[in-house]
């Protein structure tokens, strides 16, 4: 069975004090989780959170990564820098970055390749908009996002890859996908991964993201192809995030 994975995406929220307080609360909750737990603070707060999480079982992740190496790339944060501050994971291709910062498929290939080469585990996000779902295009959009990027990676990249299905209409809206909707799309993704990566495809963890809460997490985690969650808003409250981690451990 694939180990469950819960990742908290703190987005562009918080201060050094509030991020430290949140990390301290999570660290204090301690061991005993069967699920792998990751938090992704804003870049500038990675060092402070990294120090607090050192020696705990909670992993550190970033929300974005440069598709370039070290050098004259003003404003970019390279894979090597993320590793240097203690990151183990990085979110790549979040819908907010695709939509607001025009991240192209080509740029996402570079980011994923850099992440994998540096030893990071990328959480690659895919998902359809409401208009696309209503036009019955969810399957072609999601599979198209996988097809446009993943075949360009080395097959070995599949060993560290994580996929997050995040329907855009569910992100930050309070309108989560039903367990049936999530399972249906995860089934399509699983089949596509097995065809792109015949050896590793069935082992790649598939997270669901979009208004995950302590209340809806158990039904999502009961789905056979939902291996965990990428959590935005609810990851900013220690109590809620810990409750989601708890239901992943007991599912």
Residue ranges in 170-189 that form contacts with ligand PGA under rule CB under 6 A? 171-172
Nearest distance, CB of residue 244 and ligand PGA, angstroms: 10
Question: Please, which of residues 199-218 interact with ligand PGA by CB under 6 A?
Answer: 209-212
CB atoms within 10 A of CB 104: 13
- Catalytic residue flag (residue 184): no
* Least distance in angstroms from the C-beta of 82 to ligand PGA: 18
C-beta of 130: minimal distance to ligand PGA in Å?
14
In the 8-state DSSP scheme, what is residue 45? G
Of 36, 96, 128, 166, the catalytic one is 166
232 sits near ligand PGA (criterion: CB under 6 A): yes
Q: How far is the CB of 199 from ligand PGA (least distance, A)?
A: 29
3-state secondary structure 87-132: EEEEEECCHHHHHHCCCCHHHHHHHHHHHHHCCCEEEEEECCCHHH
Helix, strand and coil content of the chain, in percent to the nearest 5, comes to: 45, 15, 35
Enumerate residues 108-167 that contact ligand PGA by CB under 6 A: 166
CA–CA separation, 102 and 137 (whole Å): 21
Whether 166 is catalytic is yes
List residues binding ligand PGA (CB under 6 A): 9, 166, 171-172, 209-212, 230-234
Residues with catalytic function: 94, 166
């Amino acid at each position: 069975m694939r180990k469950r994975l819960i990742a908290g995406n703190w987005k562009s929220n918080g201060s050094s004090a509030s991020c430290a307080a949140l990390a301290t609360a999570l660290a204090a909750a301690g061991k005993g989780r069967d699920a792998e737990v990751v938090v992704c603070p804003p870049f500038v707060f990675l060092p402070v959170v990294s120090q607090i999480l050192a020696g705990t079982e909670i992993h550190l992740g970033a929300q974005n990564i440069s598709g370039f190496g070290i050098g004259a790339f003003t404003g970019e944060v390279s894979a090597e820098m993320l590793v240097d501050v203690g990151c183990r994971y990085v979110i790549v291709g979040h819908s907010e970055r695709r939509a607001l910062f025009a991240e192209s498929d080509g740029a996402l290939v570079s980011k994923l390749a850099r992440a994998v080469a540096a030893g990071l585990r990328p959480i690659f996000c895919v998902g359809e908009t409401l208009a696309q779902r209503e036009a019955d295009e969810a399957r072609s959009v999601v599979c198209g996002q996988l097809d446009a990027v993943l075949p360009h990676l080395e097959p070995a990249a599949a060993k560290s890859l994580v996929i997050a299905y995040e329907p855009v209409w569910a992100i930050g809206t309070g309108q989560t996908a039903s367990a049936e909707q999530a399972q249906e799309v995860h089934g399509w993704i699983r089949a596509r991964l097995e065809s792109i990566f015949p050896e590793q495809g069935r082992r790649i963890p598939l997270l669901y993201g979009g208004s995950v809460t302590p209340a809806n997490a158990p039904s999502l985690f009961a789905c056979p192809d939902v291996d965990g969650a990428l959590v935005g808003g609810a990851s900013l409250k220690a109590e809620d995030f810990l409750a989601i981690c708890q239901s992943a451990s007991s599912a």
